[in-house]
Structure 1
Amino acid sequence: MRVAEHLNRSLHLLMENDPSVHLLGEDVSDPYGGAFKITKGLSDRFGPRVMSTPLSEGGIVGVGAGLALAGDRAVVEIMFSDFATLAFDQLVNFAAKSTAMYGRRVDVPLIVRLPTGGRRGYGPTHSQSLQKHFIGVPGLSVYEMSPFHDAARLFTEIFASGTPAVFFEDKVLYTKPMLSGGDGLHTFEVRDGWAVIRAEQDTEDVLLAPGGLTDRALAALRDLLVEDEIACTLLVPARLHPLDVTPVADVLAAARRVHVAEDGTASGTWGAEVARLLHERLWGRLTAPITHISAPDSIIPTAAHLEARCTVQPADIRRAINT
């Protein structure tokens, strides 16, 4: 099953099991079923609980947060994550703050789905990776889909937490298969929200990367193992913030070199926050500074050959680990 089909099935399951869940977004209703077909079939099954909305990201998120604050649950799709900037006020100043600014804990079960990233030729305004702009907002969780994680379980986890969340979904990842077990060179394991991808032999190199980078990270790990005889363990968290590394503490404790890769530009990033957290835990054990792999400080061009230079590629990851 492709990631897109898995997400669609997860939303069907979520709405089937919980009649309080509403889904809103631009063109999410059938027969269109969303720009990437993630909401296909939902309006036919669940009728008025699925609403195609006007072109207003702030309005969509505001209505979703209002539904959540009033006791229902809401999933909002923003067609391209680039336009989450238009809903930033509703996310940061309304949804996130509403959990704590009324003198008591208030649940705001809201999920804002954000198709994200480049590598599809969509150009500067439809290809950005803006995860870093949501890291550190009090009361707001940040998730990213991977081919290892069960989306239905993540959606249920977010709603159970009562905390609003942005849920990034890499657009190229939609076309990739869900993964489990292994690939012949590495074994895949999921533990407490973390995917752990290991080679059979012991490794002193550990790479942390969000879900949208997994295809490129796996390609780099295969080349490193086969061509360079370097084994590296890959760690993929479902939740980027708040980040809890306790479930993979044993893997990190065995590391001698740690690398962090992410889409998006270098300054003020999730990767820098990961490095800060791991520096406190691993100080004295590492043999080199934590390596940060990110996109160049540039907008994303439309032309394929230029876009490739402005997005993280497997060769970039391989080169950083092999240095």
Structure 2
Amino acid sequence: MRVAENLNRALHGLLESDPRVHVLGEDIADPYGGAFKITKGLSTRFPDRVLPTPLSEGAIVGAAAGLALGGEAAIAEIMFGDFAALAFDQLVNFAAKSVSMYGRPVPLPMIVRCPMGGRRGYGPTHSQSLQKHFVGVPGLDLYETSPFHDAGALLPDVLARAVPAVLFEDKVLYAQRMFEDGAVDDLFAFDLVGDGPGVARVYVDDPEVFDCVLIAPGGMAERALGAMRRLLLEQEIVCALLVPARLHPFDVEAPLPTLERAGVVCVAEEGTAGGTWGAEVAHRIHERLWAGLRRPVRLIHSADSVVPTAGHLEERVLVQESTIFEAVVEAVRD
């Protein structure tokens, strides 16, 4: 099963099992079924609860938050996550604050789906990874899809928390297969640690034996796995990979037993440097494990640039498998 199919099935299951749930977004109705076909078939089965909207991200998120605040539940799709910036006010000043500013906790079950990332040649305004701009907003949770986390379990869990959430979905990830039954391929195995959607832990033979721990969101998983394979075969460096479903608040407790055995930790993300999710993760790790680390957590990110349209230039800007490989070699050998 591909990640896109997994998301689509999860949405079908959610609408079928929970009559409160509404889906909103641009061009989400059949026969188009969304820009990336994640909402395919939903409007045919649930015509009253799948609501195509005008091109207004602020209106989409505002309407979704209003539905959730009024006792329903909502999943809003931003066609390209870059334009979540147009809904920033509704997310930060309406949805996120509404859960607490009335003097008592108020449930607001809402997920804003944001296809993000480059490697598709879509150019500067359709290829960004803007996760860092939403980190640290009180009352707003951040998640990212991954090939390790079943959306059929993730989406109901997020809505059950009744806290507004942004779900980032790497566009290249849509075509990749889901990993199942604890196996990635002939080399890597994985398990899930922690409560709820948990943190995927990928390892070679023994989850407690490694030279370095990599932490990466789901969209970086393919590149991280490629780097891990090269590191093992070419440098005899063994890595473990941690992929959280929930980016923020980052649950450092779930992977803590693994991190406690790590002298070297690297965090990879596709966004640019400065006030990043990776920096927040590093801060949380430094608070708990500073005395046991051989060096500060190494941050791996894309170049300080807009994302070019031309493929050869885009490759120079964005984090590649080779970027992770070189950073880990330097961190371990230093």
**How high is the TM-score relative to the length of structure 2?**
0.96
CA contact 1:117–1:171 (8 Å) conserved in 2: yes
- 2:193 is aligned to 191
Mapped pair 1:41 → 2:48: no
1:176 and 1:254 mapped to 2: Cα distance? 31
Task: Choose the corresponding residue for 1:219, options 196, 207, 226.
Answer: 226
1:11 is paired with a residue of what secondary structure? helix
Mapped pair 1:97 → 2:97: yes
- 1:255 is aligned to 262
2:301 and 2:235 mapped to 1: Cα distance? 22
Q: Unaligned regions of 5+ residues in structure 1, if any?
A: none
Higher mean C-alpha deviation, range 146-155 or range 69-78? 146-155
Letter of the structure 1 residue corresponding to residue 328 of structure 2: I
- 1:239 is aligned to 246
1:244 is paired with a residue of what secondary structure? coil
TM-superposed deviation, 1:204: 2.7
Letter of the structure 1 residue corresponding to residue 191 of structure 2: E
2:132 and 2:171 mapped to 1: Cα distance? 18
CA contact 1:187–1:197 (8 Å) conserved in 2: yes
Deviations along 1:205-231, whole A, 9 cap, x unmatched? 100000100000000001111111110
Q: Unaligned regions of 5+ residues in structure 2, if any?
A: none
1:280 and 1:140 mapped to 2: Cα distance? 23
CA contact 1:121–1:304 (8 Å) conserved in 2: yes
Q: Please identify runs of 4+ aligned residues in structure 1 that moved more than 3 A.
A: none
What is the percent sequence identity of the aligned residues? 62
- 1:208 is aligned to 215
Deviations along 1:265-295, whole A, 9 cap, x unmatched? 0100000001111011111111122110000
1:284 and 1:98 mapped to 2: Cα distance? 40
Deviations along 1:19-42, whole A, 9 cap, x unmatched? 110000000000000000000000
CA contact 1:204–1:254 (8 Å) conserved in 2: no
Higher mean C-alpha deviation, range 89-98 or range 201-210? 201-210
- 2:4 is aligned to 4
TM-superposed deviation, 1:103: 1.0
**How high is the TM-score relative to the length of structure 1?**
0.99
1:225 is paired with a residue of what secondary structure? helix
1:235 and 1:187 mapped to 2: Cα distance? 12
- 1:311 is aligned to 318
Deviations along 1:27-74, whole A, 9 cap, x unmatched? 000000000000000000001100110000000000000000000000
Deviations along 1:52-111, whole A, 9 cap, x unmatched? 100000000000000000000000000000000000000000000000011111011000
RMSD over aligned Cα atoms: 0.7
Describe how 1:93-242 pairs up with structure 2 within 5 A: 93-180=93-180, 181-182=182-183, 183-192=185-194, 193-201=198-206, 202-242=209-249
